[in-house]
A and B are shown apart, each in its own frame.
Chain A
Amino acid sequence: MLKKISTIPFKDTAEQAAKLDAVIAECTPDVSKLMHVMQEAQGIYGYLPFEVQQKIADGMKVPLEKVYGVATFYAQFALSPKGQYAISVCLGTACYVKGAQEILDELSAQLGIGAEECTADGRFSLTACRCIGACGLAPVMTVNDDVYGKITAADVAGILAKYKD
């Protein structure tokens, strides 16, 4: 799948850098742990900027091409930062047949961004995700860790309002 690559300049703190160094040191030289290191790195930074990929490649002594290859292969790895509130609409089959596409369209219209994008103020990002397995609640959307189930397009404005201030 195509991924959006961030143009936002990379910044990190000494604390973040130290955490990543520790994870790399713990897993090197076992290259089968590359994905684990990348998952931890995404946990630390929220996404995988180019500079972080370079650091992992250097630390684990694997080509950058391999790190980038893995980052672009798996849906979970983000190359752009997420919003303060990451909105995810489940597009699994059970949700889709119950109108999840309409929910996504409505969110997209209200936020003025497409799927896999972030609003200019960095407040909301929107993702269409794979089945989260809460099919009994279909259609489902999540905002960070809050789950909203059995919703309609008409509920979208009310849900967004909760996160506007």
Chain B
Amino acid sequence: MYRSHVLVCGGTGCTSSNSQKIIETMEAELKAKGLENEVQVIRTGCFGLCALGPIMIVYPEGCFYSEVKVEDVPEIVEEHLLKGRMVKRLLYTETVTPTEIKGLNDTNFYKTQNRVALKNCGVINPEDINEYIAYDGYQALAKCLTELTPEQVIQIVKDSGLRGRGGGGFPTGLKWSFTAANKADQKYVVCNADEGDPGAFMDRSVLEGDPHCIIEAMAICGYATGATEGYVYVRAEYPIAVARLQIAINQAKELGLLGKNIFNSGFDFDLHIKLGAGAFVCGEETALMTSIEGNRGEPRPRPPYPAVKGLFGKPTTENNVETFANIPAIIRKGADWFASMGTEKSKGTKVFALGGKIKNTGLVEVPMGTTLRDVIYEIGGGIPGGKAFKAAQTGGPSGGCIPASLMDTPIDYDNLTAIGCMMGSGGLIVMDEDNCMVDIAKFFLDFTVDESCGKCTPCRIGTKRLLEMLDKITEGKATLEDLDKLEELCHYIKENSLCGLGQTAPNPVLATLKFFREEYVAHVVDKKCPAGVCKKLLSFSIEADKCKGCTLCARKCPVGAISGAVKQAHSIDTSKCIKCGVCIDSCKFGAIIKK
């Protein structure tokens, strides 16, 4: 029996800022003080508040230490764990009030969240199946196998209103029923953990923080659809997730929760991990299956749909990690419970990965229908540095952006589609006034050109032409006619591409054109980049009245474009200037302006 538990985040974000070393140091310190049998150190999954990592929580007090460094560990052990005095300077400031220490769930970041898919992340040790079982783990699978028929399981999932969390939003129960309806000697369940949307990391966090929940859900899906084998296709860039999933699979096999005759029900289910190798298109379901088969991950035309002819030509159900993560809770608590959260057509919760120009970067899970304003200002803590919010990008390279004027739109599948945006996997990148929307569109097109598999012409050549047109715009060489051509080409690519990658690739361009057309016009007509990002359109100059003639900028300039005598106002020779910005960074008086 331990008197204290120290939970340290072992997600990728905190591991990158040295949480593993913190755990090792803490264990060594505890041992040195003879406390190793009184205090237990547990490496958990992601807590969500990645901006403040590495994160540590000490129970029973529940006190929340943030940005902990290895050097802080001896003090925590000596003061808190030995003498019982909290180390106030390390407590997350928001939890400290003059009278008391608040718990995690009373902070702005956590209080409006509702964790279903992330329920166990940051709570249990993901490498110990007993902790998962203690939190109701594998009860849903037991209930399905011993009390429910496959048809009943599918009905519950249908009634819950759960829709695919990978981006498409297809009703999950319906998808399962299609596979179940097909007779075959072998069927498969595939979990899509090829989280390619740059800036989204909820799937990785679920696999790292609660891998058993995915195993349980896949086994339930196998039972419901008649599949006995499953594959988890994970990005190779996620080594921690892969390692924990493998540990979890081994533990489940040892306890008979995977393998032959699970719960004496006669149902067999086995699970394999397949590593991706870095191809965005493999997030598309048919491309993913082609990749599992050992080929170049090119998509296949549909129909036939995977429910008829999927992996190795057999009926296959494919769902994304976050979709699966909701399943055990739906079975345990019932369809009505799940359907009570969210909006009319989008039930339950959604995990968002907050990133970019926002204070509390991290993972948040909120009921569908929460407004963007609440997510960004209430939970996310707003924009740092007093800058103005410009837009939030959702859906990654397939999505669009939400401008400030639409911040009060309740976020769900249909509302986002209606404004020309997309839920996508849930990446939510916040941009402020310093970001150029044309540059952002170009960034995503650069990505899709690189990731287009090349199988179909509209995507392979069309996206390349789009990128060239955007280059022209950001270099100030475009005409207004080009903007119309740009839009026309976008629609052509959307209508004629083979798979989701091409069909959605023009979205970032269309959305920015729709909401920030004046910014495109400024590039084309005025030859200016209002945000000051597109280098070819910038010119640097020195304001004579602010310049003190300190000569620092002239010495730093790599091309000798700045001249002027000591204590005299300097000037920039724009024909020599390469617009690198070193002068702005070096000037202490704010005398250099770019516009």
List chain A positions with a Cβ less than 8 A from chain B. Answer: 1, 31-36, 38-39, 66, 69-70, 73-77, 91-94, 96-98, 102, 129-138, 140, 147, 149, 153-154
CB atoms of B294 and A132 under 8 A apart: no
Q: Which residue of B lies closest to A102 (CB)?
A: B581
Closest to B50 in A: A136
Q: A74-B279, A133-B201, A140-B16 are in contact. Are A93 and B355 (CB under 8 A)?
A: yes
Q: Does B491 contact A (CB under 8 A)?
A: no
Closest-CB distance, A93 to chain B (whole angstroms): 4
Interface residue tally on B, bucketed by range: 35 or more
Q: Is B585 interfacial (CB 8 A cutoff)?
A: yes
User: Which partner residue on chain B sits nearest A34 by CB separation?
Assistant: B294
Q: Are B201 and A131 neighbours in the complex by a CB distance under 8 Å?
A: yes
From 432 to 447 in chain B, residues with beta carbon under 8 angstroms from any chain A beta carbon are 435, 440, 443-444
Q: Given A93-B198, A93-B355, are A73 and B292 neighbors across the interface (CB < 8 Å)?
A: no
CB distance from B287 to the nearest CB of A (A): 10
Question: CA A84 – CA B311 in complex, angstroms?
Answer: 40
Given contacts A70-B295, A136-B53, whether A97 and B236 have CB atoms under 8 Å apart is: no
* Contacting pair A133 B443 (CB below 8 A): no
Give 13 A-B pairs besides A94-B355, A102-B581, A136-B362 with Cβ atoms closer than 8 angstroms: A35-B275, A35-B291, A39-B277, A73-B453, A75-B277, A93-B427, A93-B443, A97-B429, A98-B357, A136-B355, A147-B16, A149-B16, A154-B585
Closest to A1 in B: B450
> Which 9 A-B pairs have CB atoms at the shortest separation, nearest pair first?
A136-B50, A94-B355, A75-B278, A92-B198, A74-B277, A131-B198, A133-B201, A93-B199, A76-B277
Q: Within the complex, which residue of A34, A73, A94, A138 is in contact with B279, where a contact is CB–CB below 8 Å?
A: A73
Q: Which residues of B contact A102 (CB under 8 A)?
A: 581
Contacts of B443 in A (CB 8 A): 93, 96
Q: Let me know if B12 and A134 touch, CB within 8 A.
A: yes
Contact of B278 among A32, A74, A97, A135 (CB under 8 A): A74
Task: Check: B343 CB closer than 8 A to any chain A CB.
Answer: no
**Contacts of B414-465 to chain A: CB distance below 8 A:** 427, 429-431, 435, 440, 443-444, 450-451, 453
State how many angstroms separate the Cβ of A24 from the closest Cβ of chain B: 14
B294 / chain A contacts, CB cutoff of 8 Å = 31-35, 70
Q: Which residues of B contact A140 (CB under 8 A)?
A: 16
The answer to whether the Cβ of B396 comes within 8 Å of any Cβ in the partner chain is: yes
Is there an interface contact between A94 and B429, defined as CB atoms closer than 8 Å? yes
The answer on a CB contact under 8 Å between A133 and B12 is yes
